[in-house]
Amino acid sequence: ATYFLRAIASTGMVVAALEHTDGTASNTILPSGRPFSFAPSLLSGAAQLRRRADEILATPGNLPAEFDIDPSRVFFGGHSFGAPAAVLAAGRVMGLGDGGGVKVA
pTM, 2 dp: 0.70
**In one letter, which amino acid is 101?**
G
The 10 Å CB-count burial string (b at 16+, else e) for 39-49 is eeeebeeeebb
- Cα(19)–Cα(43) distance, integer angstroms: 16
Q: What is the mean pLDDT of each run of 10 residues along the chain (105 residues)?
A: 83 81 79 81 83 85 75 75 84 71 54
Task: Please give the pLDDT value at position 98.
Answer: 64
- Cα(19)–Cα(27) distance, integer angstroms: 8
Task: Please give the pLDDT value at position 10.
Answer: 92
Angle of helix 82-93 relative to helix 45-58, nearest 10 degrees, comes to 60
Task: Please give the pLDDT value at position 101.
Answer: 55
Count of alpha carbons within 13 angstroms of residue 44, beta-carbon side: 4
